[in-house]
């Protein structure tokens, strides 16, 4: 059971002006796939706050996986990928590439995503879309492969070769 933290970056959500539906969807999919939700966090789109939140969770070994939602678009306030890239030790480009490729079969707007993914210490961080529909499609698409990657990361599996 992988320890998972969900972080929503939303100025309006943090002010109570918008309901955070994406976190609920992430939580549902994660629980259905045997992941344990450690905590859910809702913060504004503030670069330093995002960085510090990610670093604290990783550096204190609170989670195996952090799934963020929001802050990956073109708005001047969308800084989640930049904050993520600043704190990770290893970039994992294949995850956001796979999400974008799959999402392009649904909508051409998927090319506008700036999401990133990577590892800090023993924690995988993945930026998910902010849209509830897009986050459901994206996470449902990658969840099976994520499980294998996390098994490798936490040391419960060492084999990547197909049998």
- Give 27-77 pLDDT, tens digit per residue: 999 999 999 999 999 999 999 999 999 999 999 999 999 999 999 999 999
CA–CA dist 6, 30 (Å, integer): 10
Beta carbons of 43 and 7 less than 8 angstroms apart: yes
- pTM to 2 decimals? 0.95
CA–CA dist 41, 5 (Å, integer): 8
Q: Sketch out the chain's domains with CATH numbers.
A: 3-153 (3.40.980.10)
């Amino acid at each position: 059971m992988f320890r998972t933290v969900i972080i929503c970056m939303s100025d309006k959500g943090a002010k109570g002006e918008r309901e955070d539906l994406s976190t609920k969807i992430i939580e549902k999919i994660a629980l259905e796939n045997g992941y344990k939700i450690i905590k859910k966090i809702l913060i504004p789109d503030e670069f330093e706050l995002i960085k510090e939140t990610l670093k604290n969770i990783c550096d204190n070994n609170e989670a195996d996986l952090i799934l963020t939602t929001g802050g990956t678009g073109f708005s001047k306030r969308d800084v989640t990928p930049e904050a993520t890239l600043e704190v990770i030790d290893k970039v994992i480009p294949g995850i956001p590439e796979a999400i974008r490729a799959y999402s392009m079969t649904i909508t051409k707007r998927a090319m506008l995503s700036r999401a990133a993914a990577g590892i800090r210490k023993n924690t995988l961080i993945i930026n998910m879309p902010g849209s509830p529909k897009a986050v459901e499609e994206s996470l449902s698409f990658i969840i099976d492969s994520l499980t294998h990657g996390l098994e490798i990361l936490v040391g419960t599996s060492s084999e990547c070769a197909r049998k």
